[in-house]
Structure 1
Amino acid sequence: MATDIVGQLADSLAQTGVEEWELSYKGQGRKLDNAQSVEEIVKEIEEFQGLQALRLEGNTIGVEAAQAIAKALQTKSQFKCCYWSDMFTGRLRSEIPPALNSLGDALVTAGARLSVLDLSDNAFGPDGVKGIERLLKSHACHTLQELKLNNCGMGIGGGKILAAALTECHKKSSALGAPLRLKVFIAGRNRLENDGARALAQAFQLMGSLEEVHMPQNGINHPGVTALATAMQHNAGLRVLNLNDNTFTKRGAIAMAQALKHLRSVQVINFGDCLVRSEGAIAIAETVSEGLPILKELNLSFGEITEEAALALAHAVKSKTHLEKLDLNGNALGVEGCEALKEAMQSMKIGDLLGSLSDDEGEPEVDDDDDDDDDEETDEEGVEEEEEEEDGEEEDDDQEDEEEEEEEEDESPGVKVSTPASAPRPPDVSSFLSFPSPDKLLKLGAKRALLIEEQVDLSDAMKTARAFLSIASVYKEENQEVKTAVLDSIDGVLRKAFSSPSFQGYDFVSCLLVLLGLIKSEDKVKPVRVVPGQLEALEHVVRQDYFPRESVAVLEAFMSRNSKALEPVDGARSGLQTTLQGLQGGS
């Protein structure tokens, strides 16, 4: 019978299962103020044998609650992964360091060996970094592989504290014969500026183990970029380098181009909105032409690059057999330059790899003198050195409000910002897919589906599934504008994907189940953080004519199984399950 076949298929897909080593409270919006409020959590931690990961994202945790959770963690010697982003909303800045200290000290006491520490989207400033300083210096972090501190407002002071802690951790672990080998470092939107970047660069150079570095939107100018470039040379395994929305100018770009000549494993370079300028772009083109054999993506958008440099880049990538995208949008090519670039790419049979040029700013009226701009930046460095740690009193309920407050502080008399205020930036699809938010999706405008289609390789089932989950993660049933934007984008992307004869619906569903944590991939693909919007959007998708009817039964089989991965979104799962059952009944 068909039911038996579906059951067998589901069993086959899930035969390896998902390891039951994680306890999750993510996205539950709990307000945990004291020991009483976390009694249930503490009990579950204490009773969880072999606990390796704890997800607390999307809740708000006070000092007493953190101390109670910490006490329960003191016996968890197998603990490895801290998924603790966005867990201090509405808390006073003074509450965060003691809460973090308690949790960190508990892991040290337990003899834990961490591999992941994620504290992103906690705007705790330099004091928050002090709250994890002891943990970072301890034996618990000698095994750390991923450190994620995106959007934490660390500032220059926090960057220096972090760099010193990582340096000490490396020295201590090296003395024991097993040096710290951090692989992933994420610290975008932290206002590290040149001094923070320089300090971290020294730590990066010492470790030499980085594979991914993401430091977008940090107000770093060419001195800081140059320091990072030097450090990157010593990280031979580097695969992804994302410095989007900092200010290179030609000196920083040339320094980075020289550094990249020493690297062979780089796959993704994102220097978009970095003002690399034509001379810097030509230097990068030379490096690409001579090396970077497995380069997949090169983003030099919004960099004031002119036609000559753009053509140099096009010729540089022609022999890159792994290349998936060259993004030169928002530069200064002009109408004729855009056409010349398209023709050059097409003549080399790589026209489909060129991203959109819809936001090209046209030929510059006057050539800017890079040296003059670089001199101005150098003059500003003296002012930067006078800027100390950014102290705040309270973290706002909304991260956006926090950032606006800090920007107002920077504009106060006597304080000079290291990078000039820029004009409103065009929508960034890459930024949205990497760090989704409703606001970013809406800013993509009416052509958002088309923009996403251009960014994502829709012939690849895994990439398509990831894109779907990124878009769906911002779904808001109560916000009609966001809801419409999400569903229109999803319909556009998936309709195009499923319309391709080479696209296999079964592969897409399999990848979706892997990313949702319902089956384990042979490639060790990490599941995403499942939120209700993803299942609510999927409920919409399965009703559409483009979605293969034969996949409905497979999805229903997995939604019917008990899964810790879906426990936090049980309501959304029930709704999806009901819809799937109804579709089968009506087929």
Structure 2
Amino acid sequence: MASDDISQLADALSKTHVGDELSYKGLGLKLDNADSVKELVCEIKQYQGLRALRLEGNTVGVEAAQAIAKALETKDLLQRCYWSDMFTGRLRSEIPTALRFLGGALMSAGTRLTELDLSDNAFGPDGVKGIEQLLKSPSCHTLRELRLNNCGMGIGGGKILAEALMESHRQSSALGTPLRLRIFVAGRNRLENEGARALAKAFQLMGSLEEVHMPQNGINYPGVVALASAMRHNPELQVLNFNDNTFTKKGTLAMAQALRHLRNVQVINFGDCLVRSEGAIALAAVLREGLPILKELNLSFGEITEAAALVVAQAVMDKSHMEKVDMNGNCLGEEGCEALREAMENKDKGDMLASLSDDEGEPDDEDEEDGDDDDVEEEEEEEEEEEDATGGSDDENDEYGGVEKENGMARQQDSPVKAQSPPEVVSFLSCPSTEKLLQLGDMRTNLHVDSSEPHEAADAFLKVASLYSEDPEIKTAVLETTDGVLKKLLSGSALHSYSFLSVLLVRMGLLKGEGKVKKALLVSGHLLCLEHAVQQEYFPQHHASLLHIFLSKKDEALKSCSDASERLSSAVEKRSLERH
């Protein structure tokens, strides 16, 4: 080590004491061997009561790490290790060895760590092996914050990390003090679905997480569903950051279902996750019925259209703790951006809305499926097939886990309608006619439609409503039947009812859906049955507001039924303006 480097280190060491912390942060030192860290080692040895050690922003070789480790073997009070960005320029093969030396010293000293930060060290799966024994040891049974951002762990590293955390939890639980990790950070690690699934098992086992940051990991639907299942088992969660992964509708529904179980969430970052409009509506449902202390919501760059964004805006209006809503980079169009701003400002929430400067503009034709969307759907279908072949999702309690497999994927072998309905009902729904409907008698008020099957439910409603006629007997039979269907579907949780309404809007051509969705041939009966429904007590005011938003944005889709459309629009507008 050059004499001027030694002088620089000596100078820095004289200023590193801050309370119980010793810091060499950002000195940019190249520490290759034992001689280069002689002063540093001396300082560590002499520091009584050392509880925090900062080594980030330097580059540490194997021999230097060994010398530092030797000095740490007596530092049993050490709790916080800030060791990010400390292997720049080192061979990847060197890093695991250096980490083993440092970890071994902590174990020898009998430390009880609360924080470990190894972010920005591109050590890959082998680097995770370098800290594997440390993570399993009693030194990490007390760990509260683990930061491994931008480490290139990959799928293999994610699996090793997950197993180490689970083993640490098992061992610590056996001793009566289970591992209670609060903050987990692992963005930009290429974990993908397999790594995410492995970590989800660890998260579910611990159940103690308060913050999870996993942006930019190449995770899509199967991995998102596994993570969602794990999140619902962590009731103290406050921050969820999955920015720049690929949710699509299916992953968003799973996350929405998980959020129903969480009361302490303050920050949700699902930006750049392809949440899309149907997913945004599902999240709006959860916002309406839960998440009481939410402060920040990021749904930017999610291919969300204007009407869905307005539904989200409505849902956040009454959140007293809300500070920021980010809907930038979506597909609102110039008029949509203005409508969103106006909606927020009308409720004195204009300051809450983030910039909309990167809006992608209204889609040219929402009725055409985007080619890229189909690619994403096909990719997810292949992964779902693999998942089914290996035993399916880990989330046995996910209410959407087995029923949202559309676009070529098999649904459950027996749909709820077919499995539970009398033969007459099955016959009617298979080939609906007014004669069959009238013959059902009292059975028509209870078609056994399952609220957790939004596609089946929407299909049943549309089939019945298509038979609408001004003939008094037929009209009464149709309205009694649709009332029975809607009363059941809209009386449950907001998530179930919003999911049903979004599917219904897709089938009616009022909302763009994902994949190849078969749209119904829109007839006046569909709209007139809804007109009747929105005037009934069972139809919530906020559901009428949702319909009002979409009807006002989709004049083209309703042109074929203009009279019925005007009647429905008038009814939903009147109902949506009613006071709660």
Please indicate the TM-score interval, normalised by the length of the shorter structure. 0.5 to 0.7
Match of 1:345 in 2: 344
| CA shift for structure 1 position 362 | 1.0
Match of 1:297 in 2: 296
1:199 and 1:108, CA in 2 relative to 1: closer, same or farther beyond 3 A? Answer: same
8 A contact 1:296–1:323 mirrored in 2: yes
8 A contact 2:222–2:384 mirrored in 1: no
- Rounded Cα–Cα distance in structure 1 between residues aligned with 2:215 and 2:33: 36
- Rounded Cα–Cα distance in structure 1 between residues aligned with 2:237 and 2:136: 24
TM-score (norm 1): 0.61
| CA shift for structure 1 position 364 | 1.0
Secondary structure of the structure 2 residue equivalent to 1:93:
coil
Match of 1:178 in 2: 177
* Greater length-normalized contact order (CA 8 Å, ≥ 6 residues apart): 1
Are residue 154 (structure 1) and residue 156 (structure 2) matched?
no
Match of 2:39 in 1: 40
- Rounded Cα–Cα distance in structure 2 between residues aligned with 1:82 and 1:71: 16
Alignment of 1:185-584 (within 5 A): 185-367=184-366, 369=369, 372=374, 375-379=377-381, 381=383
- Rounded Cα–Cα distance in structure 1 between residues aligned with 2:43 and 2:209: 35
- Rounded Cα–Cα distance in structure 2 between residues aligned with 1:277 and 1:79: 47
Match of 1:92 in 2: 91
The C-alpha deviation readout for 1:446-500, integer Å capped at 9, x for no partner, is: xxxxxxxxxxxxxxxxxxxxxxxxxxxxxxxxxxxxxxxxxxxxxxxxxxxxxxx
Are residue 21 (structure 1) and residue 23 (structure 2) matched?
no
Alignment coverage as a number of residue pairs: 368
The C-alpha deviation readout for 1:410-429, integer Å capped at 9, x for no partner, is: xxxxxxxxxxxxxxxxxxxx
Match of 1:488 in 2: none
| CA shift for structure 1 position 381 | 3.3
The C-alpha deviation readout for 1:204-233, integer Å capped at 9, x for no partner, is: 000000001100000000111111111000
- Rounded Cα–Cα distance in structure 2 between residues aligned with 1:62 and 1:320: 51
Match of 1:81 in 2: 80
Counterpart of 1:273, as a letter, is D
Name whichever of 345-354 and 287-296 sits farther off. 345-354
The C-alpha deviation readout for 1:252-292, integer Å capped at 9, x for no partner, is: 11110111010000000000011100000000010011110
The C-alpha deviation readout for 1:98-135, integer Å capped at 9, x for no partner, is: 10000001000100000000000000100000000000
Counterpart of 1:34, as a letter, is N
Identity in percent:
74
Match of 1:123 in 2: 122
- Rounded Cα–Cα distance in structure 2 between residues aligned with 1:298 and 1:250: 17
8 A contact 1:221–1:377 mirrored in 2: no
- Rounded Cα–Cα distance in structure 2 between residues aligned with 1:180 and 1:142: 5
Secondary structure of the structure 1 residue equivalent to 2:212:
strand
Secondary structure of the structure 1 residue equivalent to 2:184:
strand
- Rounded Cα–Cα distance in structure 2 between residues aligned with 1:374 and 1:96: 37
| CA shift for structure 1 position 382 | 8.7
- Rounded Cα–Cα distance in structure 1 between residues aligned with 2:386 and 2:358: 33
- Rounded Cα–Cα distance in structure 1 between residues aligned with 2:206 and 2:169: 7
Secondary structure of the structure 2 residue equivalent to 1:326:
strand
- Rounded Cα–Cα distance in structure 2 between residues aligned with 1:319 and 1:96: 51
- Rounded Cα–Cα distance in structure 2 between residues aligned with 1:190 and 1:291: 32
Secondary structure of the structure 1 residue equivalent to 2:93:
helix
- Rounded Cα–Cα distance in structure 2 between residues aligned with 1:39 and 1:133: 28
Runs of 4+ in 1 over 2 A off after TM superposition: 366-375, 377-385
| CA shift for structure 1 position 377 | 2.2
Counterpart of 1:260, as a letter, is L
| CA shift for structure 1 position 347 | 1.4
| CA shift for structure 1 position 378 | 2.3
| CA shift for structure 1 position 365 | 1.8
- Rounded Cα–Cα distance in structure 1 between residues aligned with 2:223 and 2:369: 21
1:47 and 1:384, CA in 2 relative to 1: closer, same or farther beyond 3 A? Answer: farther
8 A contact 2:25–2:56 mirrored in 1: yes
- Rounded Cα–Cα distance in structure 2 between residues aligned with 1:289 and 1:19: 46
Q: Which has the larger radius of gyration?
A: 2
Consecutive unaligned residues of structure 1, counting only runs of 5 or more, are 1-17, 386-587
| CA shift for structure 1 position 77 | 0.7
8 A contact 1:86–1:120 mirrored in 2: yes
| CA shift for structure 1 position 340 | 1.2
- Rounded Cα–Cα distance in structure 2 between residues aligned with 1:55 and 1:250: 43
- Rounded Cα–Cα distance in structure 2 between residues aligned with 1:26 and 1:288: 42
The C-alpha deviation readout for 1:3-58, integer Å capped at 9, x for no partner, is: xxxxxxxxxxxxxxx96211111111111111111111111111111111111001
Counterpart of 1:311, as a letter, is L
- Rounded Cα–Cα distance in structure 2 between residues aligned with 1:215 and 1:180: 20
Counterpart of 1:64, as a letter, is E
Consecutive unaligned residues of structure 2, counting only runs of 5 or more, are 1-16, 388-580
Secondary structure of the structure 2 residue equivalent to 1:181:
coil
C-alpha root-mean-square deviation of aligned residues, in Å? 1.7
| CA shift for structure 1 position 374 | 5.2
8 A contact 1:121–1:149 mirrored in 2: yes
Counterpart of 1:358, as a letter, is S
8 A contact 1:251–1:374 mirrored in 2: no
8 A contact 2:225–2:251 mirrored in 1: yes
- Rounded Cα–Cα distance in structure 2 between residues aligned with 1:271 and 1:90: 34
Match of 1:133 in 2: 132
Secondary structure of the structure 2 residue equivalent to 1:168:
helix
- Rounded Cα–Cα distance in structure 2 between residues aligned with 1:383 and 1:154: 26
- Rounded Cα–Cα distance in structure 2 between residues aligned with 1:87 and 1:106: 17
- Rounded Cα–Cα distance in structure 2 between residues aligned with 1:152 and 1:22: 25
Secondary structure of the structure 1 residue equivalent to 2:339:
helix
| CA shift for structure 1 position 375 | 3.3
